[in-house]
Structure 1
Amino acid sequence: MVEDNLTRVTEFILLGFSDLPNLQGFLFGIFLVIYLSILTGNGLLIVITKTNPAFQTPMYFFLWNFSFLEICYASVTLPRMLADLWTQKRIISFVACAVQACFLYILGVAECLLLAVMAYDRYVAICKPLFYPLIMNHKVCVQLVMVSWITGVPILIEETYQTFSLNFCGPNIINHIFCDAPPLFELACMDTYKVRISVQVVALLFIITPFLLILASYIKIITTILKLPSTSGRSKAFSTCSSHLMVVCLFYGSGSTVYLGQKSSHSATSGKVLALFYTTVTPMFNPLIYSLRNKDVIAALKKLFPKCLRS
């Protein structure tokens, strides 16, 4: 009876960066440039890895899938942020908020799993080079990508349903840049302990498990590389892994702090900054990291835009 009498929230207000009123135009310009950079950079990686015959290998197959994933991941949050900065309305409906959060979780988990798959690919290439064509054949690569995309879908839909099934009776102001579970828990008009635990368990499952697989792969990789007799061989082996390792550090460093950290471990402002890292900075730097660390990619870009790059 009490719950029936509560006024249920039908829309939320995303505060975003409203505490910086004099910088709204500047922030809009910055995030617009970032979003266009993400679309252009990752789009170029997709084009060159799909069209260049030299890139028809498992490593680049995973790379173009990862680049496409980065575009999707950034598109869940950045267009909404840009619209809020431009219109200053910052209002998002209850359903739109739930959809945004659900896609954010699904794509975030897909990114964790795909990073683990890419680490496994490097492990097989360096530690078992003779068996690499047999183990990482095209069918296996496609299956690994499909598993990365769909594994977490049913669980994350259920987690989103649990979060948005909480009673929200007001206030409806989310002190964040997009709809996410941690700030939403602060608005619930009921005990959220069980749902918080459920979210953390799922986060542990889909963040820590892939990370442990990545860690195990790199322990094996480093052990194998150090046993190589030639310095040039070690240098080449390290260079093939360094780009992936840098992306892993960027994504996991910020994401794990937000979802696995204690409630009091960071303020709302630092939470927004950390959220920007794993939703915008990683997708933006992904093509730069892989381009600057890969001579083949640089050569392909020069062929794609010979006049621009020569000038």
Structure 2
Amino acid sequence: MSQANETAASVVTEFFIVGFPGLQPEYYSLIAALLFCIYIAVITGNSLIVVLFVTERSLFKPMYIIMLSLSLSDIGFCTVALPKVISRYWFNDGYITFYVCLFQRQLIHYFGTLNSLIMMIMALDRYLAICYPLRYPVLMTNRTMRLLIGLSWVTAMIAPTIGLMQTVKLPFCGPNMIAHCFCDSGSINQLACADISQQNLIAYGVAMFVLLVPFSFIIFSYVCILVSVLRIANAQGRMKAFSTCATQLTIIIVYYVPRFVVYSSSSIPNNTQINSSQRIALVMFYSLLPPLVNPFIYCIRIKEVRQFFLKWCVQRNRRSLKVHRLTISK
């Protein structure tokens, strides 16, 4: 980088998170309260899942290892993404330092990539369980699943790092208003005092690779699952398989399809392009809905988990009642 670019790059030392463009100040507290409630719900629901799986050894099975990993990823994403935008609307504190913004951007894309890989592993697990039920215990052991999940947590850092290497090369010498609820590649690169066409092309290519490869495998696996389910003679067995996969597939569609719309919006003709407010609303929708409902979709609906959770609640209530009676007797 030239001396001029180094000087220009050092001008901007902090960014300001705008949030939702055009939002009137009288709605700031309402939006902050809504986002805060979503954050608390995500943390509470997914933390209960983590505690449940950590304390109950009988749940150490491949599918539950996936759910544990997904819950940890969802907690991480919301913890990185939401506190600053909540602070922006509640306390009018939207400023974030340059390097903290880059750090947030890295983790935002990291957890997004990680979730995509976890969903691909989930589809692989369901494919083996339904299409090869007799060989499933051999093909998908706890050790194999831990290896796949561990690999996903490591390799998920590759794609965000490629984008980060492109971003840090850019000079930032003028505007510092992030037109988003958090720092991401697109919103940061738009503020650069340079031609960003190459960076945008690389970012788009990486994003499509991260989305298309897992999504293509997921669609392939669920098509195979559908064919196998239709061959099941037992109607009850077909319904059980459909019920297990349908809810998972719904969340997968909610996760992937809006992302394709957002990432590809620059290639859509001008008369159908989404504006900035619509884009941010869509991003927040597909970013927050899955973490919010995942504990219910993947865990509460599963009979084994539900029974253990109810048993745990009953034991807790009995313990509390016992303590209360002892206190009264004293």
For Structure 1 versus Structure 2, the TM-score category normalised by the shorter chain is: over 0.9
Q: Which residue of 1 aligns with 2:322?
A: none
Whole-angstrom distance in 2 between the partners of 1:81 and 1:301: 33
Aligned pair partner of 1:146 in 131, 147, 150: 150
Aligned to 2:280: 272
Check whether the contact 2:60–2:142 (CA below 8 A) recurs between aligned residues: no
% same residue = 31
Change (3 A) 1:21 1:308: farther
Q: Which amino acid aligns with 2:45?
A: G
Give the corresponding residue for 2:14.
11
Structure 1 SS opposite 2:15 = strand
Cα distance in 2 for partners of 1:51, 1:259 equals 40
State the alpha-carbon separation in 2 of the partners of residues 217 and 87 from structure 1.
47
The answer on 1:221 being equivalent to 2:192 is no
Confirm or deny that 1:232 pairs with 2:236. Answer: yes
Q: In structure 1, what is the equivalent of residue 141 of structure 2? A: 137
Deviation at 1:268, TM superposition (A): 1.1
2:115 and 2:247 map into 1 onto residues whose CA distance is 15
Q: Which residue of 1 aligns with 2:162?
A: 158
Q: Secondary structure at the match of 2:134?
A: helix
Q: CA deviation at 1:81?
A: 1.5
Distance 1:286 1:134 in 2: 28
Give distance in 2, aligned partners of 1:123 and 1:25.
45
For residue 260 of structure 1, report the CA deviation from its aligned partner.
3.3
For 1:87 and 1:17, locate their aligned partners in 2 and report how far apart those are by CA, in whole Å.
Answer: 15
Counterpart Cα distance in 2 of 1:291 and 1:27: 29
- List aligned pairs for 1:70-219, cutoff 5 A: 70-219=74-223
Say if 1:203 and 1:260, in contact at 8 Å, map to a contact too.
no
Distance in structure 2 (CA, Å) of the matches to 1:112 and 1:4: 36
> How far off is 1:287 after superposition?
1.0
> What SS class does the counterpart of residue 16 from structure 2 fall into?
strand
Q: How does 1:298-309 map to 2 (within 5 A)?
A: 298-306=306-314
Partner of 1:283: 291
Residue type of the partner of 2:126? R
Q: What letter is aligned with 2:188?
A: L
Give me the whole-angstrom Cα distance separating, in 2, the residues matched to 1:35 and 1:5. Answer: 39
Alpha-carbon contact 2:178-2:187 (below 8 Å) kept? yes
- Stretches (4+) displaced over 4 A: none
1:171 CA displacement: 1.2
Amino acid in the other structure paired with 2:251: V
Output one character per residue of 1:189-217: Cα deviation in whole Å (capped at 9) or x when no partner: 11111111111111111111000010111
Cα deviation, residue 291, structure 1: 4.2
Partner in structure 1 of residue 33 of structure 2:
29
Q: CA 1:292 to 1:138, structure 2 compared with 1: closer, same or farther past 3 Å? A: closer
Work out the number of aligned pairs and report it: 310
What's the secondary structure of 1:188's corresponding residue? coil
Displacement of 1:3: 3.5
Give 1 or 2 for the bigger CA radius of gyration: 2
Which segments of 5 or more consecutive residues in structure 1 lack a partner in the other structure? none
Letter aligned with residue 10 of structure 1: T
Which range is displaced more, 234-243 or 49-58? Answer: 49-58
* One-letter amino acid of the structure 1 residue matched with residue 292 of structure 2: M
Deviations 1:12-49 (A, max 9, x none): 11111363210111112111111110011111122223
Please give the alpha-carbon distance, in whole angstroms, between the structure 1 residues aligned to 2:100 and 2:7: 24
Larger deviation: 245-254 or 70-79?
Answer: 245-254
Tell whether the 8 Å contact from 2:299 to 2:305 is kept in structure 1 after alignment. Answer: yes
Give the unaligned 5+ runs of structure 2.
Answer: 318-330
TM-score for the superposition, normalised by structure 1 = 0.93
Secondary structure at 2:171 match in 1:
coil
2-structure distance, mates of 1:232, 1:10: 62
- The answer to which of 198-207 and 53-62 deviates more is 53-62
Kindly provide the amino acid, as one letter, of the partner of residue 264 in structure 2.
Answer: L
Deviations 1:225-268 (A, max 9, x none): 01110110101111222232122122112223222332662211
Distance (whole Å) between structure 1 residues aligned to residue 165 and residue 263 of structure 2: 18
> For 1:34-53, what aligned pairs fall within 5 Å after superposition?
34-53=38-57
